[in-house]
Chain A
Amino acid sequence: MLALFENPRLRGGIHAEEHKAETSGVPIALDMPLPKKLYIPVQQHVGKPAEPLVKVGEKVLKGQLLAYSQGTISAPVHAPSSGEIADVMDFPAPHPSALPIRTIIIETDGLDQWQPLKAPDDPFALPAEEICALVGAAGVVGLGGAVFPSAVKLDLGRKNKIHTLLINAGECEPYLTCDDRLMQERAGEIVTGIRLMLRGMNAPEATVGIEDNKPEAFIAMREACAEFANINVVQVPTRYPMGWDRQMLRYLTGREIPADGRATDIGVVIHNVATAHAVYRAVCLNQPLITRVVTVSGSAVAKPQNVEVLIGTLMSEVLDFCAADKSRVARLIMGGPMMGDALPISEVPVVKACNGILALSEQDIEIPEVKPCIRCSTCVTACPVGLLPLEMASRIRANQLDAAVDLGLKDCINCGSCSYVCPSNIPLVHYFKFASGELYKRQQMDHKSEQTKRLIDDRNQRMERIRLEQEAEARRVMEARAARAKEQELAKQKAQQAQQAQQSISEADNKAAVEEVR
């Protein structure tokens, strides 16, 4: 009966104006001119940053390894073009704060010369572990925006004996059409990538979920998969955030991933469709991940389109290529308008996570002023996770973070559906992001407190030990002195006794001598 109140298959979400028509009908531009300088940050993935192994002045070829991965959850970065290493320094990151990040800067030589590539004869003859190793060595990460190292996910899938690979081709964010065009133009390569992923995980079948606002992509993929019975292509309703992997999984299979678990717990692994394409390139062509398709759109852009951009290209150059009018840009966003980050400057590099560059003008982003909450609970209806955004935000406003966690703050995916529908324009997601950061800070402070207590304890123990040692030393010295004093006493006594004995003997001798003389 309770199911009457929550549709178990599709829950919450919003339908925003799509703005996809501007870029979905135009082929991917492959003719962006080679930039003079490329800025490659060493961390473009979740996990430990990569460690550079090139030196300033070194000449590198296209695809050459620039920094190797550190630890299990990490990914390497490669040179997107041939040239010379100009510098390894801190450069502004594509982040809302524009704080610096360690970046390798390459000055291109214009030759764009590949390093020698060893494409395998039959990729499908390779053992599963080797496919995953090739994917990892190529620096392939989740290209949907989460940038989790794909090789780690593939290994995890193999170890957990999953039964289905879900390919996420939702692309539910407005404006973005990079996955759409990729499917329309390179469906065959994508399908090869999917089959390689299946082999890399020893998984039997795959399902591709495409939102129904992409009919051409659906047809293209279905044709490409026609001969492979174990790959199904399915249409899902268009409703943000359908691209949230857990939402799509629930819609397609009716099953939910446990809140504290992963998709592998229910026998599924989810990868983005562009990642499948990158896997194809990594294994079949031995090409590392050095380019990605980026949607450049927004009303300040005169020529909106999808561009295949070299990683490390400055966003300002990409915007120039698409004839953006810098004076009209009111907000520059990396990603989509719902979950993307607003960047303060455009001279930051395109990284592996950058699936869209949106140059929005004033009329695109007009957001009226914030009013008090009228408790309409539209946010509750919109939340795909099933949280109570209005209650969490009011707790956070009063700094009662524990109460907010109790209401489910940690399950929030920051999709922005609640902020989107709020009639009072309350920045709900901003509250939740703030609260998560604040909780993390408090956790750090708690650790520091504990560490401080330990250090103070250690120090006190050390002082105590020193004091005890000093006391022991003092005692020893006294004992030694006492012992020596005693020895001296004894020696004196002995000497005295000896003397007395000597005296009595000599007396006896004298007596004897006197007796003899008589």
Chain B
Amino acid sequence: MYILSAIVILTALGLFLGLSLGIAAKYLRVESDPLIEKVEALMPGSQCGQCGFPGCRPAAEAVVSGSAPVTLCPPGGTSLVEQLAKLLGVDVDLSQAKDAEPMVARVSEDTCTGCTRCFKVCPTDAIVGAAKQIHAVVADACIGCEKCVNVCPTECLQMHPIEVTLRDWRWPKPMAAA
């Protein structure tokens, strides 16, 4: 007798709660996701494509929806990973993360033809030069997206790692115990 009433009561309770959840999901749903805007604002915005997505907005959408990891953006570095992890509440193990060595493009002057193709695609206007004149890369503005390297017809543009000087030398991470 008691067993029967227990089953009936619990079943009714379950049905009622399930129904309420369904109604809430329909009528209290959050329409757009402001998170995507926030994520996009954190990204470098150079639309370089190194993450595999056609630009920073699609990448932001992918990160928010969970189809891409928070470690997807190389130019953003570990600081971006930490910020994204905090914003999205994702647990990420940063103990092995290492920043990719920053590279800048450099024009090899003996093979530059002055065709201006690189100049037109650089998202930060880091290349200076006019038609039929040798071009040069302003290293400070270069973000290493490699778009110029891809369009150069003579392959005179190469990526080089930035040299470490005494000013920007930093201590490496110590080894942990076994």
Task: Name the residue of chain B whose CB is nearest to the CB of A101.
Answer: B166
A99 contacts B124, C-beta separation under 8 Å:
no
Taking a contact as CB atoms closer than 8 A, the residue among A369, A371, A437 that contacts B171 in the complex is A437
A436 to nearest B CB, angstroms? 8
Q: Which of B18-26, B61-69, B75-83, B107-115 contacts A (4 or more CB under 8 A)?
A: B75-83
Residue contact B94 to A100, C-beta cutoff 8 Å: no
B173 touches A99 (CB 8 A): no
- The interface residues of chain B lying within 8 Å CB-to-CB of A434 are 170-174
Q: Which of the residues A399, A402, A431, A444 comes within 8 Å of B95, measured between beta carbons?
A: A399
A residues contacting the other copy or chain, number (CB 8 A) = 42
Cα–Cα distance between A438 and B78 once the two chains are bound (Å): 10
Most chain A Cβ neighbours within 10 Å, of B93, B95, B125, B176: B176
In the complex, what distance in Å separates the CA atom of A371 from the CA atom of B169? 28
**Chain A contacts with B in 356-382, Cβ cutoff 8 A:** 369-373
In the complex, identify which listed stretch (A257-265, A452-460, A469-477, A510-518) lies at the interface while the others stay far away.
A452-460
Count the B residues whose beta carbon is within 8 Å of the partner chain — how many? 35
Q: What is the bound-complex CA distance between A490 and B82, given in angstroms?
A: 73
Distance, CA A442 to CA B141, complexed state (A): 17
Residue of B45, B76, B79 with most partner-chain A CB within 10 A: B79
Q: 8 Å CB contacts to A: which residues of B116-131?
A: 123-126
**Chain A residues within 8 Å of B172, by CB:** 434
- Roughly how many angstroms separate A462 CA and B124 CA in the complex, as a whole number? 11
Chain A residue nearest to B77 in the complex (CB): A445
**In B48-106, which residues have CB < 8 Å from any A CB?**
75-79, 82, 93-95, 97, 99
Taking a contact as CB atoms under 8 Å apart, the answer to whether B45 and A370 are in contact is no
Assuming the A-B contacts A434-B172, A452-B124, are A400 and B94 also in contact, with contact meaning beta carbons closer than 8 angstroms in the complex? yes
Q: How far is the CA of A372 from the CA of B177 in the complex (A)?
A: 6
Please provide the 8 A-B residue pairs with the shortest distance between their CB atoms, ordered closest to farther: A437-B170, A399-B94, A455-B124, A442-B79, A430-B174, A433-B171, A99-B166, A434-B171
Binding site for A on B (CB under 8 A): 44-47, 75-79, 82, 93-95, 97, 99, 123-126, 140-141, 143, 164-166, 168-177
What is A's interface to B at a CB cutoff of 8 Å? 93, 95, 97, 99-101, 369-373, 397-402, 424, 426-427, 430-431, 433-434, 437-438, 440-442, 444-446, 448-449, 451-453, 455-456, 458-459, 462
